[in-house]
Amino acid sequence: MNNEELDAKINAAFSDLVIDKALVRSLKIRDKRTIPSFVEEWLISRFQKSGKSHEDIYHDVTAFMSKHLPAKNEKDRIKHELQSGERLTILDRFTVRVDIAKDKKILSIPCVEEMNARVSNDVINKNPLLLEGGQWGAGRLFVRPEGKINVIEMTEFNPMQSGKVDLQALIKAREQFTTREWIYLLLRTMGYEPSAYKESEQDNLILRLLPLVQNNLNMMELAPKGTGKSFIFSNLSRYVWVNSGGALTQAQLFKNLNTKEIGLMGRYDLLVLDEGQSINFKGADDIHAKFKDYLESGHYSIGNDKITSECGLMILANIDLHSGRPRRPDFIRHLPSMFHDSALIDRFHGIIAGWEIPRFTTDCAAQGVGIKADIFGEYLHQLRLVSHHDFPFGECPPLKGDSRDVKAVERLAKALSKLLLLNPDHEDYERFVLIPSKALRQRVRSQLVELDSHEFSGWLDVSV
C-alpha cells in the first residue's frame, strides 16, 4: 500500500478525526513554543481551513499563542495585567487540588508559576478532569480580593478536548483495515512513517503504546540513544507523566505527608521514568519496598493511608550495544542498583527490545495523515477502563504455567488485543498478540536468570 492509498483509507475511516502529520511537522509550531504534540495539533486543527495557505495557518496559530499562551519570561506582564483589572484568557494545563482543611479548591497555572489560584465550583462541575491530573484548555482569569489578600480566579474553562470519544466508531473503522494496515495507522498517529521501517521494527514500535491501554502494566525499554523512546509518552497523552532523570523522592512518587498531596503513582495512567540509568532515588530503600508492593498489588501504604491506583510504570534507559545487540547479557545492570533486585524485576511484565528499533531520522517521520494526537490519547485512556460490553476486545485464552509469567503474558496480551482489536478467535491473534506478549516476558526472564540463577531459570513457563 503506497502513501496515497493509505491516506485515502485513513481519511475515509476517520474523516475529521485525522490530521496531516507532515503539515504539522512542516509548520514547526513547537519551534516557537515548547508544547506537547497533542496541543500543537489541536491548535493547527482549530485554524486549518480548506484553501488556507500554510503561511496563513502558521500566522494564525502563532498569533493565538502570542496572545493566549505566554512564555515564561512574560509571567510578570500577565500578572500585572491581571492586577490592573484585566480579564485574560490563557491556554495552559490547569490543575486543581482540593484542600479540605481550608475548604478551598486550589488551582495551579504553570505558565505564570501560580500554585495558589482559585476556581469556581461551576467550572469544576463542568470539567471534572481538572481534578484528575489536570487538563489543557483556555481559562478565563481575573483577580479578586479574598480576605486581606488578592487571588487569581478562573471563572470559565473551555477544554481542548471534550473528553469522551466514540469507541463504536473505532470498532467500525477497524473493520476496513487488515491488521498490518491498522499497524500502519497506529504508526502514522504516533508520528512514524510505516514505509521507513521493516515489519519487525513496526511491531516493536507499537509495543510502546501497551501501558497506555492497560491498567497497571509495568514495562521497560532499553535501547541506545536516538531511537525516540520518550517522544510518544511526552506528546500523545495528557494522562502520562514523564520524569526525565534527576532525583525522585517518596513524597513525589507516592504521597507528600506534609501537604497530603497524592504522588505521581496515584494521579496518572502511566509514570514514565526517562533516562532511567541516571535516576537518583532519595530514600531508595523505602521507595524500593513501596515499588515492590505496588507493582505486585496495585496499591501502596504510606502513613495511615492505603492508596490504590491503576497507574503503570515505564522505565526508559540507554544501553550500550555491540554488533546491534546489548554489549552485556545482564543489560538490566545499566539501571540503578535498586533494579538489580530479582524480586523487583520479576514484577515487570515485559521488556521492549529497543535495540531492534533503528535511530529516528527525518525519513522516519510521518509523511501523511494519522489520528489527531488529542483524540488518540482519549482512545487509549478509555480503553483502560471500558467494559467488555462496550468494547468486546482485550481477551486472552486461558494460560498455564508459572503464576507471574502467566499474569504478565495475560496482561500484555490483553493490551495488544485492545490496541489491535484482535481476539483469540481471529487468525492473526497468535502472530500479532500472543507471540509478542511471550517475547516481552521472555526478556524479563533472561534478566532474572542473570540476576539470580539459583532461583530463576531462563525458560518462560507459559502455554495455552
Judgement on whether residues 383 and 452 belong to the same structural domain of the protein = yes
Q: What is the mean pLDDT of residues 250-267?
A: 87
* Maximal C-alpha separation, the chain: 71
Judge whether residue 286 has pLDDT over 80.
yes
Q: What is the pLDDT of residue 164?
A: 66
- Please tell me the total count of domains within the chain: 2
Task: Check if the beta carbon of residue 21 is closer than 8 Å to that of residue 369.
Answer: yes
Judgement on whether residues 365 and 276 belong to the same structural domain of the protein = yes
Judgement on whether residues 153 and 173 belong to the same structural domain of the protein = no
CA dist 141 to 93, 104, 350, Å? 14, 17, 45
Q: What is the pLDDT of residue 161?
A: 63
Judgement on whether residues 317 and 246 belong to the same structural domain of the protein = yes
Q: What is the pLDDT of residue 235?
A: 84
User: 446: which DSSP letter?
Assistant: H
- What are the percentages of helix, strand and coil residues in the chain, rounded to 5? 45, 25, 30
Judgement on whether residues 152 and 234 belong to the same structural domain of the protein = no
Three-class SS state of 195: helix
Domain that includes residue 138, residue range: 73-159
* 143, part of any domain: yes
Judgement on whether residues 155 and 179 belong to the same structural domain of the protein = no
| CATH code for the domain of 120 | 2.40.50
| CATH code for the domain of 288 | 3.40.50.300
The mean pLDDT value of the chain amounts to 91
Task: Tally the C-alpha atoms within 13 A of residue 339's C-alpha that lie toward its C-beta.
Answer: 24
If you average pLDDT over each of 69-83, 198-212, 238-252, 326-340, which comes out highest?
198-212
Judge whether residue 259 has pLDDT over 90.
no
Judgement on whether residues 106 and 247 belong to the same structural domain of the protein = no
How does residue 154 score in pLDDT terms, banded at 50, 70 and 90?
A: very high
Q: Which of 224-228, 415-419, 421-425 has the weakest average pLDDT?
A: 224-228
Q: What is the mean pLDDT of residues 427-456?
A: 96
Contacts of 59 (CB under 8 A, 6+ apart): none
- Which residues partner with 94 through β-bridges? 135
Grid coordinates representing 11? Answer: 481519511
Task: Report d(CA 216, CA 55) in Å as an integer.
Answer: 44
Three-class SS state of 152: strand
Task: Report d(CA 203, CA 422) in Å as an integer.
Answer: 15
Grid coordinates representing 324? Answer: 546491534
The residue among 216, 181, 211 whose CA lies nearest residue 351 is: 211
Task: Report d(CA 442, CA 351) in Å as an integer.
Answer: 8
Judgement on whether residues 417 and 305 belong to the same structural domain of the protein = yes
